[in-house]
Amino acid sequence: MALTLAEYAKAESKDPKRAYILKNLIRHSPMMDVIPWEKADALRVSGLRWRNLPDVDYRGINEGYTASEGSIEEVWETLCGLGGDINYDRVFELTTATLVDPIRTQVDMKMAAMGFKFNDGLINGDPAVDPKGLFGLKARVTNAPARQKVGFAGASATGLDVTASAANAQAFFNNLGKMHKRTNGGDHQAWFCNENMQLGIGVAARYLNISAGGFLDVGKDTLGREFPTLHGSTIYDMGLKKDQSTEIITNTEAAGDAGVDSTSIYCVAFNSEQGLMGAQLEPLKFYDPLNGGEQESAPAKLRRIDWWIGFVSFGSYGITRGWNIHDPSGWTVPA
C-alpha cells in the first residue's frame, strides 16, 4: 500500500527520532504531504505504458470479430540515493546545559537542505544533466503528448501579462482550466509554481473581481499549515534552492518571443495509472553506522541519513505544464 511521508510519520510511534526526521522533512518539503511512496525491489523498476488501443467493432448474427490487440511499451525508472552524513564532536553529547542542542541543530539543518534538494529535483531533475539525481517534472513533460504543455500565450509571443486586460485575466483562468482537465481528466492532487505565481493567482482573481469561478479555496496540510487550493488541489510554492536565493521555478524562463521573463506552473496527479508515484527501496533511514563509537580519525560521532528513491510514471497524462506566463511581479497589476 502506498503511503505519504506524513502517514509514515504518524506510524512511527515506536521510533520518535525517525518520526521527528520525517516531520522535519515535510516541514521543508510540504509536497511530501501528497506524494505516495510505493515499495521498490530494485534500483531500476519497469512498467508497461499504453501506446495504441485495440480495435473494437459491432457484429451481426453469425458474424465474428476480428482479433486486435493494443500496443504497449516497457518503461524503466531508476532510483537514486538522497541523504548525507552528520559529524559532531563527542563532547556535544556531554553538554546538556545549552539553550540550543547543537546535535539537533545540525540534524535540523541537514533535513532542511535535504528538503530543498528534493524540491529542486522534483521540478528540475534531469538524468541528462545529473544521472545520479531525480527525473523531475520539467524533463518528464518534455516527452509527454503535446496537449500536456499548455501555452498561456502564442508560441512566438511574449509571456502573458495576466492583468494587462480583463481578456488576459480570463485567458489565464481558461488555461488553468485546460490544465485541470488535461491532468488525469481533472483528478489531480497538486499544483507546483513559485511564490510570485502562487500570489498571482489571487491577484488575477481580485483583478476580475471574481472568486475564480468558485475554484479557489484554502486547505490545511497535516502540520496545520494553510495553503491555497485550485480545483481542489493544493497550490505549492516550490520555494528556493539550498542557497536560499535561487528560485526552483524561476521567473526567467524563455518566453515564446525568446525573452527570459516568464515562468511556469505544473499540475500533477499522484496515482499508479496515469499519474506520478514515489518509489523507495526502503523507508528513509536515520542511523548511527558506528553504533555509538567514535571515528578513527577524530573524537567525533556520526549520524547518517540515507533514502533510495525515485519517481515512476507509466502513464502519459498525469503531468501538465503551463508555460509562457510573464513574471507575475512584472504584470500591469503586479503580484
Considering only CA atoms, which of 307, 309, 310 is closest in space to residue 285?
Answer: 307
Residue 240 in this model has a pLDDT that exceeds 70 = yes
CATH superfamily of the domain spanning 3-51+72-136+275-312: Major capsid protein gp5 (3.30.2400.10)
CA dihedral 89, 92, 98, 102 (to 10 degrees): 50
8 Å CB contact between 219 and 234? yes
Identify the pLDDT of residue 112.
Answer: 97
* Domain residue ranges of the chain, discontinuous segments joined by +: 3-51+72-136+275-312, 140-271+317-330
Longest dimension (CA), the chain: 90
Helix axes of 195-208 and 166-182: crossing angle, nearest 10 degrees? 120
Identify the pLDDT of residue 211.
Answer: 67
Question: Measured between alpha carbons, how far is 250 from 195 in angstroms, rounded to an integer?
Answer: 10
Identify the pLDDT of residue 72.
Answer: 85
Locate 130 and state its grid cell: 545529473
* Beta-bridge mates of residue 234: 190, 229
pLDDT band of 212, cuts 50, 70, 90: low
Percent of the chain's residues with pLDDT above 70: 99
Helix axes of 16-28 and 102-124: crossing angle, nearest 10 degrees? 50
Residue 258 in this model has a pLDDT that exceeds 80 = yes
Q: What is the pTM of this model?
A: 0.93
DSSP of 187-227, one letter per residue?
---EEEE-HHHHHHHHHHHHHHTS-GGGTEEEEE-TT--EE
**Mind listing the pLDDT tens digit for each residue in 160-193?**
999 999 999 999 999 999 999 999 999 999 999 9
8 Å CB contact between 76 and 45? yes
8 Å CB contact between 269 and 276? yes
Percent of the chain's residues with pLDDT above 90: 83
pLDDT band of 310, cuts 50, 70, 90: very high
Quick one: average pLDDT of 231-251? 97
User: Which of 15-19, 116-120, 309-313 bottoms out in mean pLDDT, i.e. has the lowest?
Assistant: 15-19
Residue with cell 502513464: 315
Residue 131 in this model has a pLDDT that exceeds 90 = yes
Locate 119 and state its grid cell: 524540491
* Strand-pair category, 226-230 with 300-312: unpaired
Question: Measured between alpha carbons, how far is 40 from 295 in angstroms, rounded to an integer?
Answer: 33
Identify the pLDDT of residue 257.
Answer: 96
Q: How many CA atoms are closer than 13 Å to the CA of 252, on its beta-carbon side? A: 3
Identify the pLDDT of residue 213.
Answer: 63
User: Which of 14-28, 158-172, 276-290 bottoms out in mean pLDDT, i.e. has the lowest?
Assistant: 14-28
* Beta-bridge mates of residue 262: 253, 326
Identify the pLDDT of residue 47.
Answer: 78
Considering only CA atoms, which of 222, 253, 223, 226 is closest in space to residue 237?
Answer: 226
